[in-house]
Structure 1
Amino acid sequence: MRTRLLQGLSLLSTGLLAGAFGYGAANLVPTFNAVPIDMRLDFHAELMKMNGITMQATMAVSALSSLALAALTRGRTRALAGAAALLAVASFLITRFGNVPINGRIKQWAATEPPTGYADVLRRWELFNDARTLTAVVAFALLTFLALRETAPCPKGHDQREAA
């Protein structure tokens, strides 16, 4: 029962993470690029205030629940849950060391003016955003595969627990 609850928590939190990053990549970034730069900087700076706590918490729950799931299981389930945990940690590290420093610059630019060459910095932020989105989506896909695999009927004479 504890394993199923952890599996549900890891699937939910990683799905929320992948969904939030996916929505940002598919909708926010193109919108950022379509509006005047001062509007983008103001909105981006305000959005990061809100995202700071919620996204870090989601990444932490995703990584920790996937890691706990890996610790409580064995075989292929352990490997896939562990891989999902590593991918969630990768999303955090990409965010922390890639996007967050650039967010700090954007906050400064919103209060003043963007410097010459700001477009290259914004493109780098988008590359980091794409990378963290990809890691979150793959983590979610792995956990979804686990959930679907465990609910699929086993061939006659096989116990589902043996497959895990």
Structure 2
Amino acid sequence: MFNALAVCTTVVVGVMVGVEFSVAFVINPILNALPDDSTLRGRAHGGRMLGAVMPVWYIGSLALVTAWAITGRHHHDTGLVATSGALLLLSVIMSILLLVPINDRGKTWTPEDRPADWRRQMNRWDRYHYARVAVIVAAFALLVTALA
């Protein structure tokens, strides 16, 4: 059962990392290359769609890592799992404090009512997102190391 938890946790976190990596380095660069109205509409739609899913995914991942750390507390790799959990907690805090406020504004924008600085706000979101991706990639690498 413990091994199943470890594998399941690693897969769930890994897929989340893949989605967030894709947003940062594939989806948003594609959207940013489109004309302004299309960029805005695409990013607003993505903000609504992923904004509904990602909180559950982040908290669920953190819960799985916490369960792994607790059930495996006597294993030699518990420090790696606990550190991964701390990084995932940091990513949740970063999300709440830095990314969600921008996303909450951006997901309601339309070409008719967007603020003058909408691109600057999206660029700020992107920079925060790059940092969050680095944090969750590190968390994932620790889980893979603990699993190996």
- Decide: shared fold, TM above 0.5: yes
Given that 2:51 and 2:103 are in contact with CA atoms closer than 8 Å, whether structure 1 keeps it comes out as no
Tell me the CA shift for residue 109 of structure 1. 2.8
| One-letter amino acid of the structure 2 residue matched with residue 126 of structure 1 | D
| One-letter amino acid of the structure 2 residue matched with residue 4 of structure 1 | N
Greater Cα offset, 43-52 or 14-23: 43-52
- Which residues of 2 match residues 7-156 of structure 1 at below 5 A? 7-72=6-71, 73-74=73-74, 76-110=76-110, 112-148=112-148
Of structures 1 and 2, the larger Rg is shown by: 1
- Larger relative contact order (Cα-Cα within 8 Å, sequence gap ≥ 6): 2
| One-letter amino acid of the structure 2 residue matched with residue 84 of structure 1 | S
Work out the CA distance in 2 between the residues paired with 1:89 and 1:13.
Answer: 15
Any unmatched runs of 5+ in structure 1? 149-164
| One-letter amino acid of the structure 2 residue matched with residue 81 of structure 1 | V
CA RMSD of aligned residues (A): 1.7
Any unmatched runs of 5+ in structure 2? none
Greater Cα offset, 100-109 or 8-17: 100-109
TM-score, reference length from structure 1 = 0.80
Stretches of 4+ moved more than 4 A in 1? Answer: none
Work out the CA distance in 1 between the residues paired with 2:28 and 2:76.
Answer: 36
